[in-house]
Structure 1
């Protein structure tokens, strides 16, 4: 099959394999863990996982498959494994079926040079394409679009996955070290949703994401064969990338090929389900500008009278079961003391969480998260979301019933811990680390601040 390809198709196929297969992104999707096992790249999402095996010789395919099954069984995750028709499959498809994998859909893999795609022209009467960002302040992907997207496919990346995965410049998943490594990148624009509308009716949608460290954007999916969406995609992706990759069949494939895409190979999925129950949600779920995010903020503000003003008061009304420390001992967000504070807070929150309870991390006017404290932190697990340290913004850890949590105030440079259960776990350690407390139960103790721990 490879021998019959044109030079252009061969070039596109070579770039696809070199840049898109077997890659480990610099920033993992939110709530996911990426592991490399020899030639295999595994991604664990908590609810499912994927295997990516680039083309190449594998000494013992059967052992490789069994090892992946053992790992995913330990995580309790169903797994998807993609095989490409241009690979020398080494009998891998047959070996997967023998191991209990089930063959799924098959589609064409299509690639286009962005410069060859049409640009937006005059819209048809009453039809208009608009951009709906998948993150940040442009987060206006409404439920109608989500329902249309969920009712079509399968897609290369579903819209739900795109929204759950997309890393942003907030502190949910990206550490200061990550931010330095990604300097100059605007992750805000690394994901985008395009909506085709006729007056007030949504006709269709398409969504894409940039592929880090490559020449490619990835067309995650398109709900139908709409040329207007291809033109909008080409205009936006052309600002940064050279090529677009897509997966399609039927009428959608025909429309993409007519627009300038070329089929470079075909791909088939194989699926395996481990025994036992499967988690219904990811260990970490992004929250931003949605009803749950707004509701938890509103309840926190009402309970603790959170205010943001430039004069008399700025912060919360601290409850009777609270202690507040000054953070002046921390010289910067990278100070080792910040890491120690975080470790103490994480241990305390994990110890106080009820079985199956989800916690929240909130970052004022930025994205937050709902997370399972038993499934984050440590080897093989996603990072604990956010930090207690108020790095220029108000940071809050909170239980859903508001009984305990932390409040980091950047204006005062302080950390308040509230809830008798949590104080019993962390007060002694935080006092030893940070020194004399500022307030107890919201009442100033009259202490003079000293750097470092109190004298013995």
Structure 2
């Protein structure tokens, strides 16, 4: 399949695909947009072309911001490099949304990537399901990124509670210490599963753990009959994934609005 056709398939199947609502989470439709409300950070899910233009688009954006402002909650609106209209991101900025680092959307064939993981001595991969392990993963991520990412663990717990069959979480364990972790998200009825996470403690990088996590999750995906794996890759991860056989189809940039701290 050519890149354009692969991107069109991704847009068709994945752009409107969201996790089932968990406890306290609701989905609110606002024209072409879907708001995910009740998580630790809200989300706006948009099609490739939101349809609105000019002042109408400004009002649509403002309604999303204001809805989460009422809750005192941050919200993420994820954009892609081929979205329409072309001035969407400018209007998001004008409404107070701040871009996070751009990532590359890469897609690979699950069966081709489902090889035997190769790990350094003393490291094992294990699938985890316990709430405490999700929080251990979040604590590890907080160390790696030098910021409080405790919400990651709570979101993983929430996602597993809502749809346990759609999420596989794998941790790289070195003598009882989590040194890396990643998860696989599969939406039934689609040909895709997403790879997320994969961050590794600095002292354990360069030993093949990231590649092993990709291979292990690819095996889980292939066993489910998943055809494609997709990743929103950082500049550090993208070259590794390309070498493994992933293909770049577009870019993605999250835009986040955050309420002012209470005075």
> Aligned match of 1:269 in 251, 254, 258?
254
The aligned length equals 248
Alpha-carbon contact 2:17-2:187 (below 8 Å) kept: no
1:103 aligns with 99
> Aligned match of 2:32 in 32, 39, 62?
39
Between the aligned partners of 1:200 and 1:276, the Cα distance in structure 2 is 37
Spell out the pairing of 1:56-455 with structure 2 (5 A cutoff): 56=49, 57-59=51-53, 60-121=56-117, 123-133=119-129, 141=133, 143-152=135-144, 158-168=152-162, 187-224=163-200, 226-240=210-224, 241-274=226-259, 277=262
Runs of 4+ deviating beyond 6 Å? none
For CA contacts below 8 A with separation 6 or more, give which structure has more relative contact order: 2
State TM-score, norm by structure 1: 0.49
SS at match of 2:83: coil
1:365 aligns with none
Give the C-alpha shift of residue 222 in structure 1: 0.9
> Aligned match of 1:29 in 18, 22, 25?
22
1:421 aligns with none
Between the aligned partners of 1:97 and 1:40, the Cα distance in structure 2 is 18
Between the aligned partners of 1:200 and 1:48, the Cα distance in structure 2 is 30
State TM-score, norm by structure 2: 0.82
SS at match of 1:80: strand
Give the C-alpha shift of residue 244 in structure 1: 1.6
Alpha-carbon contact 1:22-1:40 (below 8 Å) kept: no
Which whole-Å deviations, capped at 9, do the CAs of 1:127-178 have from their partners, x for residues lacking one? 32221126xxxx66265433213334699x944422222235xxxxxxxxxx
Which whole-Å deviations, capped at 9, do the CAs of 1:425-449 have from their partners, x for residues lacking one? xxxxxxxxxxxxxxxxxxxxxxxxx
SS at match of 1:151: helix
2:7 aligns with 13
Alpha-carbon contact 2:36-2:44 (below 8 Å) kept: yes
Q: 1:160 to 1:89 in 2, by over 3 A?
A: farther
Q: Return 5+ residue gaps in structure 1 as ranges.
A: 1-6, 169-186, 278-456
